Structure 1
Amino acid sequence: MNVLITSAIIVDPKSDFHNETVDILIEKGKITNIAKNIKNPKNYKEVTFENLHVSQGWFDSSVSFGEPGYEERETIANGLKTAAHSGFTSVALNANTNPIIDTSSDVAFVMNKAQGQAVNLYPIGALTKHSDGEDLAELFDMKNTGAVAFYDYQHPISNPNLLKIALQYASNFDGLVLSFPQESKISGSGVMNEEAMSTSLGLKGNPALAEALQIARDLFILEYTDGKLHIPTISTSKSVDLIRAAKQKNLDVTCSVAIHNLVLTDQELQHFETKFKVLPPLRTPSDIEALIEGLKDGTIDMVTSDHNPMDIEHKKIEFDYAAYGTIGLESAFGALNKVLTLKKSVDVLTSGKERFGIARSPISVGNTADLTLFTPNGNYTFSKEHIVSTSTNAIFDGKPMKGRVYGIFNNNQLILN
């Protein structure tokens, strides 16, 4: 596909044109020219938007689509469409399907379903068979088929010896192990953050201690094994402190935070709305402050929408019994852009690729075009009309947003909103 993007502000520190306003010529999926006022004698499709910014394509390290098994929540095709309209050119797919993605054939299935799409899909294989925490899954075979990491989505590894063995085994083929940060015996049946709000609402609490204990344990095991660990969706100030100290010891650890944990607090639950029931739970303002500081100083490596569609039958029920999860792709940039600078927002939306072994493509002549088109300006309120997902369990419904996604160019395809 041939496209001329006009008057675009490049946001890419790895590009020679960073912070410059230029035209970008793309021919057959590759960037062939970047300059001021490129002529268009061949009448290529021109892409022009108000206050257009262009960055490397964004990456989300934690999305769930449902297929296979839960297609009523989200199919792979519609999930990738949602990602494209949300500005993401690459996503890592969690294994929480039915059946669980725990074999090489399961990995091949979801990769085949994503063929020909504008958005790249990278499967995360389950760490244990059926994600039941008992026996390791086919890690090496899944890696060879295309899995970029191994994770029992939102299932803590209760057996410390299993994590030890997983880190040691995966290090033989540079495998990335993910461990959900929650000590289940401490969190118990808690459904929200354990603080004053949980007491006033009469809901069982999930204390910050449960997250910190699990992370402390995992980091001790990581140091012992000299493995490679990613801790997804941290949510507390103590977690930031623990990971910061581990990085100062040069342990091979990275972590992410869900965007809703950067913006919303447990005060949102005062009306028992189940759209705010997420895992890890929404925490306190002091936790948010620490998480944002952790992003700024590099302790937290990336953000994620933690997009997890749920059908209405699992959300429109009593709070204690409602399923965890929110959709988040469509609101990701608008919410993040309210709490971080533009430079930092783009950085944490793109920097996770290397950790998951995914090549980045700087905005330079000769490189494949892997681009996100957006504006950081403009305020609006997120509502149902902005949802592309099949499910509508949106934690940011009714919340203020800043900035809009115009679309993406990737895999020689242009997707515009």
Structure 2
Amino acid sequence: MNLLITGVTIADPNSQFNQKKCDVRVEQGIITAIGTNLKAAKDEQVFDGSGSVLSPGFFDLNCSIGDPGFETKEDIQTATAAAKAGGFTGIAVLPNTKPVVHSKAEVEYIINRAKGNLVEVLPIGAVSRDMEGKELAELYDMQQAGAVAFSDGGKSITDDGFMSRALQYAKGFNGLLMVYPENRSIAGKSQVNESKTSVLLGMKGLPALAEEMHISRDIFLATYHDAPVHISNISTYGSVALIKKAKKDGIKISCDVAAHHLVFTEELLNDFDSNYKVKPPLRAKSDVRALLAGLKDGTIDAVGSQHRPHEIEHKDVEFEIAAYGIIALQTVLPLLIKAGLDAVQIAEKLAINPRALLGLEVPVIQEGRVANFTVYNPSEEWVYDSKNNFSKSSNSPLLNKKLTGKVQLVYNNKQLQSYG
């Protein structure tokens, strides 16, 4: 499909047209012209990009889809539909499925199921068999089959020796371990942030210490093996400080943060709304400020959705027994806009850096390059509701809320999807 986008502002620090208002022409999946006053051809679809931003297509580092085995939560079709609506042209999916993605068979299943989609679906293999943290999974075979990284999902790797061996082995073939930071012996069965709020709620608090001790361990191991470690979903002031120092010391540490941890705080739990129950838990305002500062100074490399779909029977229950997580693919952009990120920062943290961390080709808004982009209006208001929620699940505290920042179209793999 041939497409002409007129008067759109480009947000791509890798492009000579960054922050310039331009017309962009796409022919047969290639950006063939960028300029001003481009004339529309007869066979072109024209989109008025006035007031809109064109960014490299977003890429999510941290997404659960449930397929295979938990398709009642989300399958590849619904996940990619939600991803497109959120501006994502690629998602890396976690291995917490049934069976767990711990061999090349499961990796190949996901790749084949998602083939030909506008949204690229790239599997993350498990670090350990069945994500039990005891026996190494088939890391090298999975990478050869198409796995882009390795993670035990939302389960932390508690055995220090096992983590050390996994790092040493993955280093041999440039594999990246993406780890969830939680010292389980300290975290226990805590469900909310340890603070005055947890006392008022009468619930056992999860201290920031549990996250920060785990990150400290992984920094030591990354130093010892001179191997890269990616920390997923950091949430505390202390975590930012630890990673900032490690990077300054030249240690191969990277990290991401979930979009909701940049906006939501623990005070939202006062009504015991289980849709705000996430892991790591919502933290204090001081933590949010530190996370935002860490994003802007480069300490935090990327933003992820931490998309966690659940059936209603797992969320519409008492807070203490509710499952962790929210659906988030369609709300990342509005949350980043609400958090105060500008268009270039959004492009860096949501499109460029996530791909760079995984060693993937980064789309560039440049003539002659493959077209892979997202167009959104940062000031358009819309209501997120059951009619435009493309996920199979509905566990989001933002449903039926007015949001600012609307995806208008996405383009990838010679496919165009537009949204009103």
TM-score by length of 1: 0.98
Q: Which residue of 2 aligns with 1:338?
A: 338
- The aligned residue for residue 52 of structure 1 is 52
Partner of 2:418: 416
CA offsets 1:357-391 (integer angstroms, 9 cap, x no match): 11012111110000101011134554444421110
In structure 2, what is the equivalent of residue 109 of structure 1?
A: 109
Contact 1:100 1:131 in 2 (8 A): yes
**d(CA) in 2 for partners of 1:316, 1:110:** 30
Matched, 1:32 2:29: no
Per-residue deviation at 1:50? 4.2
Give the C-alpha shift of residue 245 in structure 1: 0.6
Which residue identity does 1:365 align to in structure 2?
E
SS at match of 2:111: helix
Q: 1:337 and 1:130 mapped to 2: Cα distance?
A: 38
Alignment of 1:178-193 (within 5 A): 178-193=178-193
Q: CA deviation at 1:147?
A: 0.5
The answer as to whether partners of 2:8 and 2:50 remain within 8 angstroms in 1 is: no
Residue 280 of structure 1: how far off its partner (Å): 0.4
Q: What letter is aligned with 2:210? A: A
Question: 1:261 corresponds to which letter in structure 2?
Answer: H
CA distance in 2, matches of 1:378, 1:398: 16
* Aligned pairs, number: 417
Match of 2:371 among 365, 369, 372: 369
Secondary structure of the residue aligned to 1:4 is strand
1:333-356 alpha-carbon deviations (Å, 9 max, x no partner): 011111122321222111211111
- Partner secondary structure for residue 59 of structure 1: strand
CA distance in structure 1 between the partners assigned to 2:77 and 2:335 by the alignment: 25
CA distance in structure 2 between the partners assigned to 1:95 and 1:267 by the alignment: 32
Runs (5+) with no aligned partner, structure 1: none
Mapped to 2, the partners of 1:43 and 1:110 lie a distance apart of 36
Residue 197 of structure 2: aligned partner: 197
Match of 2:89 in 1: 89
Partner of 1:169: 169
The answer as to whether partners of 1:327 and 1:393 remain within 8 angstroms in 2 is: yes
Q: Equivalent residue of 1:92, what SS?
A: strand
Q: Map 1:184-333 onto structure 2 (within 5 A).
A: 184-333=184-333
In the aligned structure 1, how far is the partner of 2:75 from the partner of 2:286?
37
Q: CA shift at 1:400, angstroms?
A: 5.1
Provide the secondary structure at the position in 1 that maps to 2:327.
coil
317-326 or 235-244, which deviates more = 317-326
Shift of 1:169: 0.6
Where 1:32 maps in the other structure, the secondary structure is: strand
Give aligned-pair identity as a percent: 39
Aligned to 1:393: 395
Structure 2 letter corresponding to 1:282: L
What's the counterpart of residue 349 of structure 2? Answer: 348
**Which residue identity is paired with 2:90?**
S
Report the secondary structure of 2:278's partner residue: coil
Give the aligned partner of residue 8 of structure 1: 8
Given residue 52 of structure 1, which amino acid in structure 2 is its aligned partner?
S
CA distance in 1, matches of 2:208, 2:61: 23
Amino acid in structure 2 at the alignment position of 1:159: D
Amino acid in structure 1 at the alignment position of 2:267: Q
Provide closer, same or farther for how the CA distance between residues 22 and 50 of structure 1 changes in structure 2, counting only shifts above 3 A: closer
- Superposed CA RMSD in Å reads 1.2
Q: Which residue of 2 aligns with 1:404?
A: 406
Q: Look up the match of 2:119.
A: 119
Paired with 2:335 and 2:41, the residues of 1 have a C-alpha distance of 40
| Per-residue deviation, 1:27 | 1.0
Q: TM-score, normalised by structure 2?
A: 0.97
2:354 alignment partner, SS class: coil
Looking at structure 1, the residues matched to 330 and 188 of structure 2 have their Cα atoms a distance apart, in angstroms, of 32
TM-fit CA distance, 1:51: 1.3
Cα shift at 1:22: 1.5
Distance in 2 (CA, whole Å) between partners of 1:222 and 1:113 is 35
Q: Output the CA distance in 2 between the equivalents of 1:43 and 1:240.
A: 51
